[in-house]
Amino acid sequence: MSEKEVGVVSTYFNNVGVAAVKLSGNLKVGNKIHVKGHTTDFVQDVGSIQVGDKKMPAAKKGDHVGIKVDERVRPNDKIFIVE
């Protein structure tokens, strides 16, 4: 199982369970991601990606996206695609 870093969490919106992520790689709905940080460590599938207020099937390097997350995340947590 290999992992490739695709982004970093910039903000977490507790009320909606969404992480704002600055992408350093491509990400699409259905990808399995590993969120890892100082106190964060979990794996989940990407169920939805939002750019602005639009739901998107995928996003690319440089995009700032919202991802629904299963657990609390923190700024600077890293997002990896699990392959």
> Does residue 1 register a pLDDT over 90?
no
**CB-based contact 20:64 (threshold 8 Å):** yes
The reply to whether the predicted model has a pTM over 0.85 is yes
Residue numbers of the domain that contains 40? 3-82
Query: CATH number, domain at 45?
Result: 2.40.30.10
Is residue 62 left, alpha or beta, with left meaning phi > 0 and alpha meaning psi from -120 to 50? left
The whole-number average pLDDT for the span 31-40 is 98
Q: Sorting pLDDT into bands at 50, 70 and 90, what band is 41?
A: very high
Query: What's the structural domain count of the chain?
Result: 1
Q: Above pLDDT 90, what percent of the chain?
A: 96
49-83 pLDDT per residue, tens: 999 889 999 999 999 999 999 999 999 999 999 99
